[in-house]
């Protein structure tokens, strides 16, 4: 029992502190000047155009990432589900990006996307697709694209693993029966595989949406939210408010908004799957 | 058994090879760059295989030798970063292992307690852990920083150890709760009727059957704490106490970025995770199945 209490302390206390902080003016250089702010911090972010810009950008970033991750993840899972010799080696290699530290892939992408000596520009030039070097991380649209690419690269394996695990539980008899009835490959995919995958895909999409929306490192390490503020999301907005502007209360208020959105996401999850049931498997 | 024709098999293997190459390319390219001599790193056209493979970058990182960057035959000193590389590596190891040990200890005992004893509030623990593991670290980092300041732990490895426990504990807790619940209690009861103490039963019966869950939780915890950047960025401000993730950012200082050295650092940072991954692939997938994934 004491350990259950310890566990609760570690899990609940920081969150409670975060919420409390959102209602205070707090400057770490002047902790004595801390005073109750009521809803001031929330008013401040609601009036800040950068907050809304970050919000929109986060929505775009999340939507693009999730669509790509799901599409590629399902395709990879189908590929890895083929009855081939040595498939487990490929499985291992294709799932590897998930455990690569974000810092590492961010460093590698900065090197590959380097405008002057990067291998990406060189390949595109060699293929005749571009005439001049592209400044991937220095132009707003392309920087957004690059961070999406990083995110998709790193987290698609998550989708693949979940889908693959589900694919392995679909009874083969269903396919045999469909074959006997003369259904082609595509029909079998659309009528058997997809409906069977629907529930696991719903879980994966909800969870990935919640986490992707709140991601920090995946963007910060590649672009610092830049150029300008073109790749800011709410997490980076909150970080910049706390670190650069030293307005910890405003940062925390942003955090509370993020938690509210997260809570809505969880409600969707609870709605779709009754909460007290075991999670998939 | 579903089998494919020869032609289809060949096509499938080709597609697999191409896809694998594309996905692994960033890592292959990093490895290739790290093995190149400085003059080959920037060469055009870039070469996939280093013309004269060398371990010099790695040697410099491990020995902490002051770097010089050769540009146009002249030597320009780069950052002091390589000198600290090994201590950063050590910090990462200590902090990851420490926080994982604490997380696993607390969550194993707590999960056992919640599933085996009856007391008020035991039902809320798993719900809070689910909630806790959905909360992103950006929300926790500043409140925890203030707590660490009050405890006078900032800028120490302890702050990181405890900080990581608060990220990893919720999902360890959730995973182990699900795991302990699925272990039938009858065997334990039978053993206790036979006169075994609760501690004996815990060590001889409960722990062995919970081992796969505990291993999966430990792997996730190690991955999360090894890969963290944000907590270290906020908690630590002296260069020698940094873990690798923030430390390597110092390679960007100075006028020249030595990409060969940088990529060697990136590769070395990935190696422990790669070893863990290969050893534990089976358990990793088991953990995914139980829904205990943060990321």
CB pairs under 8 A between A and B: 228
Distance between CA atoms of residues A154 and B102, nearest Å:
28
* Nearest neighbour of A162 by CB, restricted to B2, B12, B288: B288
Q: How many CB atoms lie within 10 A of CB B287?
A: 24
* Lowest mean pLDDT across A7-11, B72-76, B138-142: B72-76
Please state the pTM of the whole predicted model. Answer: 0.85
User: Are the beta carbons of A8 and B137 separated by less than 8 Å?
Assistant: no
Q: What is the mean pLDDT of residues B11-17?
A: 89
Does any domain span residue A81?
yes
User: Using a CB-CB distance cutoff of 8 angstroms, which residues of chain A are in contact with residue B128?
Assistant: 8, 11-12
Cβ contact B156:B204 at 8 Å: no
Q: What is the mean pLDDT of residues B54-63?
A: 84
Asked if pLDDT for residue B4 goes beyond 70, the answer is no
* Lowest mean pLDDT across A265-274, B154-163, B191-200, B248-257: A265-274
User: Are the beta carbons of B110 and A262 separated by less than 8 Å?
Assistant: no
Instruction: Produce one character per residue of A112-122: b if its CB has 16 or more CB atoms within 10 Å, e if not.
Output: bbbeeebbbbb
Please write the tens of the pLDDT for every residue from A132-168.
888 888 888 899 999 999 999 999 988 998 888 888 8
Distance between CA atoms of residues A240 and A105, nearest Å:
23
Query: How high is the mean pLDDT of chain A?
Result: 83
Asked if pLDDT for residue A131 goes beyond 90, the answer is no
Does any domain span residue A23?
no
Q: At B290, is the pLDDT very low, low, confident or very high (cuts 50, 70, 90)?
A: very low
Please write the tens of the pLDDT for every residue from A225-278.
878 888 898 899 989 888 888 888 888 888 888 988 888 887 877 777 654 444
Query: Which pLDDT does position B27 carry in this prediction?
Result: 92
Q: How many CB atoms lie within 10 A of CB B16?
A: 21
Distance between CA atoms of residues B101 and A34, nearest Å:
37
Please write the tens of the pLDDT for every residue from B206-263.
888 888 888 888 988 998 899 999 999 999 988 888 999 998 888 887 667 788 888 9
Distance between CA atoms of residues A207 and A215, nearest Å:
12
Query: Which pLDDT does position B276 carry in this prediction?
Result: 85
Does any domain span residue A22?
no
The class (CATH top level) of B81-289 is mainly alpha
CB contacts under 8 A, B 147-176 vs A, are 147, 149, 165-166, 169-170, 173
Please indicate if any CB of chain A lies within 8 Å of the CB of B26: yes
Q: How far is A279 from chain B (nearest CA, A)?
A: 6
Q: At B80, is the pLDDT very low, low, confident or very high (cuts 50, 70, 90)?
A: low
Distance between CA atoms of residues B161 and B105, nearest Å:
14
User: Using a CB-CB distance cutoff of 8 angstroms, which residues of chain A are in contact with residue B92?
Assistant: none
Distance of CA B196 to the CA centre of its chain: 38
| Closest CA relative to residue B246, chosen from B172, B163, B171 | B163
Does any domain span residue A34?
no
Comparing alpha-carbon positions, the chain A residue that sits nearest to B139 is A255
For chain B, the domains span 6-77, 81-289
In sign, the C-alpha dihedral spanning B23, A215, A271, B284 is positive
Does any domain span residue A127?
yes
Distance between CA atoms of residues B194 and B166, nearest Å:
39
Query: Which pLDDT does position B176 carry in this prediction?
Result: 87
The total domain count for chain A is 1
Query: What is the DSSP track for A30-85?
Result: -GGG-EE-TTHHHHHHHT-HHHHHHHHHHHHHHHHHHHHHHHHHHHHHHHHTS--T
Q: At B3, is the pLDDT very low, low, confident or very high (cuts 50, 70, 90)?
A: low
User: Using a CB-CB distance cutoff of 8 angstroms, which residues of chain B are in contact with residue A242?
Assistant: 142
The CATH number given to whatever domain includes residue A215 is 1.10.3720.10
* Interface ipTM: 0.84
Q: What is the mean pLDDT of residues B159-181?
A: 87
Q: Which domain holds residue A248?
A: 41-272
User: Are the beta carbons of B270 and A4 separated by less than 8 Å?
Assistant: no
Q: How far is B291 from chain A (nearest CA, A)?
A: 6
């Amino acid at each position: 029992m004491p350990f259950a209490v310890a566990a609760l302390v570690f899990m609940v206390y920081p969150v409670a502190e975060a919420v409390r902080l959102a209602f205070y003016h707090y400057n770490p250089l002047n902790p004595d000047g801390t005073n109750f702010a009521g809803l001031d911090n929330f008013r401040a972010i609601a009036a800040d155009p950068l907050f809304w810009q970050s919000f929109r950008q986060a929505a775009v970033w999340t939507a693009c990432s999730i669509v790509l991750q799901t599409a590629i993840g399902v395709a990879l899972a189908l590929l890895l589900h083929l009855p081939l010799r040595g498939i487990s080696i490929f499985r291992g290699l294709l799932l590897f990006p998930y455990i690569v530290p974000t810092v590492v892939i961010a460093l590698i992408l900065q090197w590959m996307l380097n405008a002057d000596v990067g291998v990406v520009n060189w390949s595109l030039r060699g293929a005749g697709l571009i005439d001049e070097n592209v400044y991937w991380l220095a132009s707003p649209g392309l920087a957004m694209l690059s961070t999406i690419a990083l995110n998709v690269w790193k987290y698609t394996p998550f989708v693949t693993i979940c889908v693959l695990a589900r694919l392995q539980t679909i009874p083969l008899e269903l396919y045999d029966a469909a074959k006997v009835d003369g259904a082609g490959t595509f029909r079998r995919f659309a009528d058997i595989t997809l409906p069977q995958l629907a529930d696991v895909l719903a879980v994966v999409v909800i969870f990935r949406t919640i986490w992707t929306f709140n991601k920090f490192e995946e963007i910060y390490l590649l672009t610092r939210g830049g150029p300008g503020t073109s790749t800011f999301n709410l997490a980076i907005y909150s970080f910049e408010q706390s670190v650069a502007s030293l307005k910890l209360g405003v940062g925390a208020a942003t955090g509370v908004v993020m938690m509210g959105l997260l809570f809505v996401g969880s409600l969707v999850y609870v709605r779709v799957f009754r909460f007290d049931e075991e999670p998939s498997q | 058994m579903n089998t494919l024709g020869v032609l289809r098999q060949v096509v499938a293997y080709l597609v697999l090879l191409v896809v694998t190459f594309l996905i692994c390319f960033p890592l292959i390219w990093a490895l290739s760059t790290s093995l190149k001599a400085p003059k080959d790193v920037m060469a055009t056209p870039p070469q996939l295989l280093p013309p004269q493979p060398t371990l010099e970058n790695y040697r410099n990182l491990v020995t902490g030798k002051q770097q010089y960057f050769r540009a146009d035959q002249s030597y320009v000193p780069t950052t002091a970063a390589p000198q600290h590389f090994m201590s950063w590596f050590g910090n990462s190891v200590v902090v990851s292992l420490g926080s994982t040990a604490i997380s696993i200890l607390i969550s194993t005992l707590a999960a056992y307690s919640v599933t085996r004893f009856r007391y008020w509030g035991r039902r809320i623990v798993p719900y809070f852990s689910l909630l806790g593991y959905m909360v992103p670290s950006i929300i926790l980092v500043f409140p925890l920083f203030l707590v660490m300041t009050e405890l006078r732990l900032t800028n120490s490895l302890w702050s990181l150890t405890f900080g990581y426990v608060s990220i990893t504990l919720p999902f360890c807790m959730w995973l182990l709760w699900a795991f302990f619940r699925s272990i039938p209690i009858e065997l334990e009861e039978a053993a206790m009727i036979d006169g075994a103490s609760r501690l004996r039963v815990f060590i001889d019966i409960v722990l062995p059957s919970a081992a796969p869950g505990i291993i999966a939780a430990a792997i996730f915890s190690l991955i999360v704490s090894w890969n963290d950047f944000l907590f270290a960025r906020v908690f630590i401000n002296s260069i020698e106490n940094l873990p690798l993730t923030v430390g390597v950012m110092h390679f960007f200082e100075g006028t020249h970025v030595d990409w060969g050295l940088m990529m060697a650092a990136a590769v070395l940072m990935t190696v422990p995770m790669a070893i863990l991954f290969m050893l534990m692939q089976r358990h990793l997938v088991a953990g995914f199945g139980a829904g205990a994934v943060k990321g």
